[in-house]
Amino acid sequence: MLSGVLPWLSIILVFGVVIFVHELGHFLAAKATGVYAPRFSIGFGPAIWSRKWGETEYVLASVPLGGYVRMASRDDSSMAILEGGTEQPAPEHPSEGEALPRWYDPEAMAPFGPKPIPENRLFESKSLPARLVIMLAGVTMNMLLAFVIYCAMAYAQGLPLLRTRVIGDVRTVASAPALAQLRSGDTVRAIDGRTVSTWNDVDSRFDSAPGPTITLTTNRGTVTVPVGAPNTATRDSVAGAIVPYLAPVIGKVVGGMPAARGGLEAGDSVVTVAGDTVRTWYEMTSHVQQSPGKKVEFTVVRHGSARAITVRPDSVPAEDGGPPIGIIGAYQRSDIEHLPISIGRALNDGWQQTWGVASSVVTALRRLLNGTLSVRELSGPVAIGHASYVAAQAGWATVLRLIAIISVNLAIFNLLPVPILDGGQILVNVAEAVKGSALSLRTREYLMRFGLAVIALLFVIVMYNDITRLVKNLFGL
C-alpha cells in the first residue's frame, strides 16, 4: 500500500518514469547512431541538479513539464531557448574572469570545451533511416514500458476465473438489436451449441465462435446475433456488451479515498445509488463513473439495517482518453479466483492490453477531430497529478496501471504531426529527404513557432479544464 505516500512523491513517480523512459529512448538511439548528445534533461529551464558523465550532462530542471535530449545539430538555434542555449565551443584560452561552462574541460567538445563538434557527430549527418530511428525511439520506449507493465501484472495476478454463468448487465449495441432479448439475471447455458460452466468459458466461446452469427442459449431461450457482416456488430462488441453478474457488495475500501471518507465499509451491500436501485456491481460503478466530483447518495445494508451515506467520487482521466470518470476507492467482494498462467500467456495478455489502450486513444483523437468529443473533456497535468495521488492511495498495481496508460497516451500524442513533437519532426525530415535539401532557416523558424503556439494553446485548454474541475470538486458545484 502507498496510502502514506505524499502527493508530490506520487506525481513525481508517475510523471518522472514516463518522461525518463521516453527521453531515454531518444538518448540511446542517438548514442547508438553516433550523434553527439551533450545534455539529457528531465524538465526544462534552470537546472536544480546536474552531473556530467562522459560527454553528457544529466540534468533535473525546474519546470517539470517534459524533458529533452540535446543533440548536436547544424540548426542549433531553433531549439536553443527550450534546451539550454546554443552549443558554442568554450574558449581554448579563457581570459581572467571570463565565465566558463560549469563542466568546463579543455579537452572536451562544445559546450563544455573548446573543441568543435565533428561533422559526423551532427544529427543531420546521419542517414534518413538513422534519424527516423532516433525520433521514433521515444514513443517506442513508451509503448515498450506499457507492454512490460501489462505483462508483469498479468503474470503476477494470474488468470481471473469467475465461476458464474449469470448475466449481470447487457449494454446497448446499435448494430446488434437482438441483444435486447437478453436480461440481467439470465443464465448462459451454451454458446453456438457448446456448453459453458464459467464466465471464462463464455469469453472463450465468443472468441472462437465460427460463422456469421453467435447463438446464445439461456434459461429463457435462444438468441441469435448476426456478426461480422456490414451493418452488423463485431464479435468483440457483442462480447463486451454482456457482462457477468457480480453482487453489489463492497469487499475492500481504500483508506483516504472517497468511499472511506464517506463512511462506506467492507461488507456493505449497496441497495441504491443516486436514488436508483442497483442489483449488480456494474450498475453501482456506472453511477459512480458518471459522477466525477459530484455528491452521490448511497443506501447500504450493514449488519441487517439500512444506512444512508454520501460520497463524492474523485475525478480521474478515463483510460480511453474520453471524459474524466469518477472513482471512490471501493472494491467488489472477491468472487474471482486467480489461476497461474504461463509467460507466453502473460506476453499475449500484455500485448492485447497495450494495443487496446492505444486503439482507444486513437479513437478519442478521431472523435476530437470530427467534433464528437469536446476539448472540454481533455485532461492535463493537474488531473494527471491528482490521478497519480489517487492511484498511490490505492496501491502499487494501480500506480503501475496509471503509468502504463499515461505512457501510451504520451506515445500517441508525440506522433501527432505538430512541429516540435516527434511526429512533426519526422514529417520535416521526410519532406527534406524528398526535397533533396534542408528547409530554410526561416521556414524552420515558422514551423517551430507554429508548433509552440499549438502546444501552448493545448496547455491553456487542459489547464483551464483541470482547474475548473478542481474548483467544482472542492465546492461541489
What is the structure's pLDDT at 455?
85
Output DSSP code: residue 421.
Answer: S
Q: How confident is the model at residue 94 (pLDDT cuts 50, 70, 90)?
A: low
More confident residue, 118 or 231: 118
The Cα–Cα gap between 452 and 54 comes to 32
- pLDDT above 90 for 371: no
**Residue type for 19, please?**
I
Strand order in the sheet with 269-273: 276-277, 269-273, 296-302, 305-311
Q: Looking up cell 544529427, which residue turns up?
A: 123
Percentage of residues of the chain with pLDDT beyond 90: 41
What is the structure's pLDDT at 473?
62
What is the structure's pLDDT at 419?
84
Give the number of C-alpha atoms closer than 13 A to the C-alpha of residue 424, restricted to the C-beta side: 16
- pLDDT above 90 for 222: yes
Q: In the numeric block, which cell numbers belong to residue 22?
A: 521516453
List Cα–Cα distances, 129 to 24, 162, 433, 437, in angstroms: 19, 48, 11, 16
Q: In the numeric block, which cell numbers belong to residue 366?
A: 478521431
- The burial class, CB within 10 Å (0-12 / 13-18 / 19+), for 460 is exposed
Q: How confident is the model at residue 475 (pLDDT cuts 50, 70, 90)?
A: low
What is the structure's pLDDT at 382?
74
Question: Could you count the other beta carbons within 10 Å of the beta carbon of residue 107?
Answer: 8
Q: Of 466, 441, 460, 359, which is closest to residue 124 (Cα–Cα)? A: 441
Average pLDDT over residues 380-387: 74
Q: In the numeric block, which cell numbers belong to residue 99?
A: 565565465
Average pLDDT over residues 132-156: 96
Beta carbons of 285 and 328 less than 8 angstroms apart: no
The Cα–Cα gap between 272 and 10 comes to 34
What is the structure's pLDDT at 167?
92
**Residue type for 4, please?**
G
According to DSSP, the residues that pair with 448 across neighbouring strands are none
Domains and CATH numbers, the chain: 35-125 (no CATH), 127-158+337-385+395-477 (no CATH), 165-244 (2.30.42.10), 247-334 (2.30.42.10)
- The burial class, CB within 10 Å (0-12 / 13-18 / 19+), for 301 is middle
Taking CB atoms within 8 Å and a gap of at least 24, the contacts of 57-63 are 57/103, 57/112, 59/84
- Per the rule left: phi > 0, alpha: psi between -120 and 50, beta: everything else, 34 is left
Read off the pLDDT of residues 305-327 as tens digits, 9 standing for 90 and up: 999 999 999 877 776 556 778 88
Average pLDDT over residues 75-80: 57
Instruction: Give the dihedral of Cα atoms 272, 275, 277, 281; nearest 10 deg.
Output: -50
The Cα–Cα gap between 247 and 245 comes to 7
- pLDDT above 70 for 90: no
Q: Of 292, 270, 267, 266, which is closest to residue 282 (Cα–Cα)? A: 270
- pLDDT above 70 for 83: no
Average pLDDT over residues 386-392: 71
Average pLDDT over residues 187-204: 91
- pLDDT above 60 for 2: no
What is the structure's pLDDT at 321?
58
Q: Looking up cell 449481470, which residue turns up?
A: 168
Q: How confident is the model at residue 5 (pLDDT cuts 50, 70, 90)?
A: very low
- pLDDT above 60 for 129: yes
Beta carbons of 186 and 217 less than 8 angstroms apart: no
- pLDDT above 70 for 459: yes
Beta carbons of 235 and 206 less than 8 angstroms apart: yes
Q: How confident is the model at residue 343 (pLDDT cuts 50, 70, 90)?
A: very high
The Cα–Cα gap between 282 and 288 comes to 10
Average pLDDT over residues 438-464: 84
Q: In the numeric block, which cell numbers belong to residue 391?
A: 492511484
What is the structure's pLDDT at 4?
47
Least confident of 71-85, 261-275, 410-424: 71-85
Least confident of 181-185, 216-220, 359-363, 373-377: 373-377
Q: How confident is the model at residue 449 (pLDDT cuts 50, 70, 90)?
A: confident
Range among 79-83, 84-88, 377-381 with highest mean pLDDT value:
377-381
Average pLDDT over residues 162-172: 89
Average pLDDT over residues 419-444: 88
Concatenate the DSSP letters of all residues of 342-364 into one string: -HHHHHHHHHHHHHHHHHHHHHH
Residues in the chain: 477
List Cα–Cα distances, 347 to 138, 152, 200, 208, 337, in angstroms: 22, 8, 19, 20, 20
What is the structure's pLDDT at 255?
79
According to DSSP, the residues that pair with 214 across neighbouring strands are 225
The Cα–Cα gap between 201 and 217 comes to 13
**Residue type for 201, please?**
D
SS3 content of the chain, % helix, strand, coil (to 5): 45, 20, 35
What is the structure's pLDDT at 138?
96
Output DSSP code: residue 79.
Answer: G
Read off the pLDDT of residues 409-420 as tens digits, 9 standing for 90 and up: 999 999 999 988
What is the structure's pLDDT at 306?
94
Q: How distant is the alpha carbon of residue 196 from its chain centre? A: 35
Mean pLDDT across the chain: 85
Q: How confident is the model at residue 1 (pLDDT cuts 50, 70, 90)?
A: very low
Read off the pLDDT of residues 392-411 as tens digits, 9 standing for 90 and up: 766 788 889 889 999 999 99
Percentage of residues of the chain with pLDDT beyond 70: 89
What is the structure's pLDDT at 399?
85
What is the structure's pLDDT at 388?
75
Q: What is the CA radius of gyration of the chain?
A: 27
Q: Where are the alpha helices (DSSP H) in 296-440?
A: 343-370, 381-394, 396-414, 422-435
- pLDDT above 60 for 88: yes
Q: How confident is the model at residue 133 (pLDDT cuts 50, 70, 90)?
A: very high
315: CB partners within 8 A, 6+ apart = 292, 293, 324, 325, 326, 383, 386, 469, 473
